[in-house]
Structure 1
Amino acid sequence: MGDKYETLEILEKSPTGVFNLILNRPSVRNAISFDFYTEFPKALNALDQNPNVAVILLSGSGDHFCAGIDFKSLKFLSSNYSGDRGRSGERLLRQIKFMQDAITAIERCRKPVIAAIHGACIGMGIDIVTACDVRYCTKDAFFSVKEVDLAITADLGTLQRLPGIVGFGNAMELALTGRRFSGQEAKELGLVSRVFESNEELSEGVLTIAEGIAGKSPLAVAGTKAVLLRSRELSMEQGLDYVATWNSSMLLSDDLTEAISAQIQKRKPVFAKL
């Protein structure tokens, strides 16, 4: 984990395998710069490949989780395409897909990624957290699908992932109005699983949850994430076939033997790293 990043920081939070991936540009409320799109998937891949990592906590430094895209980057992006309309469009297409891929890296990561949200979570912040596996926030957190107010159609995943989390009608209303909504409303919509009173309580509570997940079979945890994500695109019959195929190769593991032994002996199981 020796890599240095301009936009991120990685900290080991617990000897149980919980690591914190931090959006680290607090002076601009963790607004997303171009460096993020290269660094973020690189950091996630490093954590994914590290056998000492069981769960990843994603948070923001300073007073906010993420204020969205850095306006300097947005201005550069809008002014960097001139000349032949077709070629400019093709370059922009490749740029957008490169940016999309950085967010989708969260879903490619085998390890669970838990978002701990405080302060602002705006625009690209929503893109990021909707790709996470579980989300928690503080009471004073606030959210906005802001792109429509910048004359942009949100293109990094919010419009694809948010409807599956909060429902199609709710996602349409939030995306068309760009309105600000609170942490409590985010809980009512299902965007977050729990609201904590303060950032300190959020950090402590989410760490406890992450440590609980880290103590489970890493094969079962990775399989649960993979099957749930894949099942979004499949019919019931296809989803059942997919999980049957998955378990036919993963079920008969040492983890199963250890889990059963631990249950019988009334002790905590000890699993090999992934």
Structure 2
Amino acid sequence: MSEYSAFTVELNDNVAHVQINRPEKINAMNAEFWSEIRDIFAWVEETPEVRVVVLSGAGKHFSSGIDLMLLAQVGGQLGKEVGRNARALKRKIEELQSSFNAVDACSKPVIAAIQGYCLGGAIDLISACDMRYSTADAQFAIKEIDVGMAADVGTLQRLPHIIGDGIMRELAYTGRTVHGEEAQRIGLVNSIYADQEALMTAVFEIAQSIAKKSPIAVQGSKEMIRYMRDHTIADGLNYIATWNAAMLQAEDLRVAMAAHMSKQTPEFKD
């Protein structure tokens, strides 16, 4: 496992803990963050021992979003010709998008644990996760509108599938802050907890419960759920039939059935 400047990564009992580690900068997303998260999720994908990912932020806040210094650097590279500026900006936006696409495309479940600020680009990030949990005092906001731009790294594309179109539009147009209780009510987070310690304890319990399941079944379920976001019911039914024509022959099914019949806890291979 590599060393990272914007993250710490640990693997214990089939759960990878990926933590944004810039607490002195409110975990703002600098240039290293965007490249390292791609590398980390490539490692997650390639490592059979990883069955679940917990994504968190060190310190008092999950993340304040994109580092303004990075935006200033991008702006400083622009010239006077609009067409060439546009092409350069499009390439940069697509590069940033690829970082969170790596999270979204990950075959293993990714669980976000959120405390304090979750602003701007951090909303893009948690929108790419499977589930989200937070402290009661967490603060969520789509802040891009307040700096004169539309969110461009996934929020506007993924969030309507999580909280619904109407409330997403309200938050995107107003930039207002949503606190933990409302976040749970609108479905942005599954549950809220009194403090960060309780949050992390609960999230790792959930992660461990998933990690004990058949990785064939868990990853197949995620693939089907993700596929349905962009396809019809008929497409999805055909896909799961084709998928399970192979996966139902996996050893995991026999292990699970035998354990169930003998009232034992099954143990699955990576």
Q: TM-score, normalised by structure 2?
A: 0.98
Q: Distance in 2 between matches of 1:222 and 1:85?
A: 44
Aligned residues: 270
Q: Give the 3-state SS of the residue equivalent to 1:192 in structure 2.
A: coil
Q: 1:57 aligns to what?
A: 54
Deviation at 1:156, TM superposition (A): 0.2
Q: 1:38 aligns to what?
A: 35
Q: Distance in 1 between matches of 2:82 and 2:144?
A: 23
Read off the aligned partner of 2:6 and give its amino acid letter.
Answer: T
Q: 1:234 aligns to what?
A: 231
Q: 2:5 aligns to what?
A: 6
Indicate the larger mover: 255-264 or 82-91: 82-91
Q: Distance in 1 between matches of 2:215 and 2:252?
A: 8
Q: Of 70, 73, 81, which residue of structure 1 is paired with 2:70?
A: 73
Structure 2 segments unaligned to the other structure (5+ residues): none
Deviation at 1:31, TM superposition (A): 0.5
Indicate the larger mover: 56-65 or 77-86: 77-86
Q: Of 178, 185, 188, which residue of structure 2 is paired with 1:188?
A: 185
Deviation at 1:79, TM superposition (A): 2.8
Q: Distance in 1 between matches of 2:43 and 2:224?
A: 22
Query: Is 1:267 paired with 2:261?
Result: no
1:1-274 matched pairs, under 5 angstroms: 1=1, 3-12=2-11, 14-15=12-13, 17-273=14-270
Deviation at 1:19, TM superposition (A): 1.5
Structure 1 segments unaligned to the other structure (5+ residues): none
Structure 1: which 4+ aligned runs deviate by more than 2 Å? none
Read off the aligned partner of 1:76 and give its amino acid letter.
Answer: Q
Read off the aligned partner of 1:8 and give its amino acid letter.
Answer: F
Deviation at 1:68, TM superposition (A): 0.8
Q: TM-score, normalised by structure 1?
A: 0.97
Q: Give the 3-state SS of the residue equivalent to 2:111 in structure 1.
A: strand
Q: Distance in 1 between matches of 2:171 and 2:248?
A: 41
Q: Give the 3-state SS of the residue equivalent to 1:143 in structure 2.
A: strand
Read off the aligned partner of 1:219 and give its amino acid letter.
Answer: I
Read off the aligned partner of 1:60 and give its amino acid letter.
Answer: G
Read off the aligned partner of 1:46 and give its amino acid letter.
Answer: W
Q: Distance in 2 between matches of 1:245 and 1:135?
A: 30
1:123-147 deviations in whole A, cap 9, x for unaligned? 0110000100011001111100000
Deviation at 1:88, TM superposition (A): 1.6
Deviation at 1:48, TM superposition (A): 2.0
Deviation at 1:9, TM superposition (A): 0.6
Deviation at 1:64, TM superposition (A): 0.3
Read off the aligned partner of 2:202 and give its amino acid letter.
Answer: G
Read off the aligned partner of 1:82 and give its amino acid letter.
Answer: G
Q: Distance in 2 between matches of 1:9 and 1:265?
A: 41
Q: Distance in 1 between matches of 2:147 and 2:132?
A: 26
Deviation at 1:49, TM superposition (A): 1.2
Read off the aligned partner of 1:4 and give its amino acid letter.
Answer: E
Q: Distance in 1 between matches of 2:62 and 2:29?
A: 11
1:129-171 deviations in whole A, cap 9, x for unaligned? 0100011001111100000001111000000011111110000
Deviation at 1:188, TM superposition (A): 0.4
